Amino acid sequence: MNETLLLIIEWTIKGGLLAFGLATGFAYTTFYERKWAARLQIRIGPNRTGPGGWLQPAADGLKLFFKEEFTPANAYKFAFNLAPVLTMVPAIVIMAVIPWGTQIDFFGRIIPLGISNELNVGVLFLLSVASVSVYGIVLAGWSSNNKYAMLGGLRSTAQMISYELALGLSFIGPIMLAGSLNMAEIIRAQQQGVWYVVYLPLAAVVFYIAALAEVNRSPFDMPEAEQELTAGYHTEYSGMKFSLFFMGEYIKMIAVSAICATLFFGGFDGPFVNTYPLLGPLYLGIKIFISLGLMIWIRATMPRLRYDRLMAFGWKVMLPLSLFNVVWAAAVIVFFNVR
């Protein structure tokens, strides 16, 4: 058959698998959160739908399909409908450069495990897609024509762009050690040496905190501070549009966990992964699972930051710390002469 057609079919299948996998991952992340947060607070959590409550996410998703799709009369319809899409799409697209493994032999056809593992500007791609995801929130806040939504949207936008700097600067360490922006190359460099968290522990911590702020997770979930802003930027959303926001948020959690795993914890690296490439997705999945558990734990434990403290923390602590990390990475290269 025609090679181009085959390639397009391969990409579509992989893209569909990734989108479907992330949607399922989203559904079960909500379940994971409810179960694990319940355990942390000595409750039981959802346990009625299906055995042990395992069908709860399916029931939730189905319910949202049958809810009324509702637009306030004063909303700007075009932007109001565009905003949920602009939140969800970048969350999926950012996963394009995350390698899930090396490659497999599928009936004589070499298929790389991942959408675009070897993209030569991989890390920058992550940054630029992350910067685009601000749009969904700023548009939702503006187009709802609602005071709570407007305030939530503005707060969230300012918060995201402030922490994006620390996020971007904490990428520099792994780039310097690997000498490349290519995600697969960064993982190969870690496979030959050690995981970068060993050399750059502080950068990993800064990255994780900035990522929590970037995906609006507790304790940085200011934009949707229920007590003051009802639901922030998605106050006026309902039905499937609301669930697209929800989905975007949880897929972003999965995405930053995957990025953290790739840059600092060796990505798909693990025992025997070079002999059995199919172990790669499993290892990455386990690392994502652990990171998500940590996020839920933080949410169940920490109180929310006050907004002025949050912005001051971003500019006065995170930014200098992440600049220090760059110098640290240079020192690591010079003193340990790492490979």
CB 170 within 8 A of CB 315: no
> Which residues 50-89 are close enough to bind another protein by CB under 8 A?
64-70, 72-74, 76, 78-79, 81-82, 84-85, 88-89
* Alpha-carbon gap, residue 117 to 97, rounded angstroms: 5
Query: Is 109 strand, coil or helix?
Result: strand
Identify whether 271 is preceded by a cis peptide bond (ω within 30 of 0): no
> Which residues 173-202 are close enough to bind another protein by CB under 8 A?
175-177, 179-181
Q: State in angstroms the smallest separation of the CB of 134 from another protein.
A: 6
Which range, of 8-16, 42-50, 199-207, 213-221, touches another protein by CB under 8 A? 8-16
Q: State in angstroms the smallest separation of the CB of 339 from another protein.
A: 9
* Alpha-carbon gap, residue 339 to 164, rounded angstroms: 29
> Which residues 309-328 are close enough to bind another protein by CB under 8 A?
311-312, 315-316, 319, 323, 326
Which range, of 37-45, 259-267, 279-287, 305-313, touches another protein by CB under 8 A? 305-313
CB of 254 or CB of 296, closer to another protein: 254
Which range, of 26-34, 43-51, 158-166, 279-287, touches another protein by CB under 8 A? 158-166
Q: Does residue number 230 form part of the binding site for another protein (CB under 8 A)?
A: yes
CB 328 within 8 A of CB 171: no
CB of 86 or CB of 261, closer to another protein: 86
Residue 27 is inside which H or E element, if any? helix 3-40
Q: How many residues bind another protein (CB under 8 A)?
A: 100
CB of 23 or CB of 38, closer to another protein: 23
> Could you tell me where the DSSP H helices lie in 265-278?
none
Residues sharing a CB contact under 8 Å with residue 117, sequence separation 6 or more, in sequence order: 97, 99, 183, 184
Q: Does residue number 284 form part of the binding site for another protein (CB under 8 A)?
A: no
Q: Does residue number 147 form part of the binding site for another protein (CB under 8 A)?
A: yes
* Alpha-carbon gap, residue 180 to 168, rounded angstroms: 15
Cα–Cα distance list, 310 to 87, 137, 209, 218, 316 (Å): 23, 18, 12, 12, 10
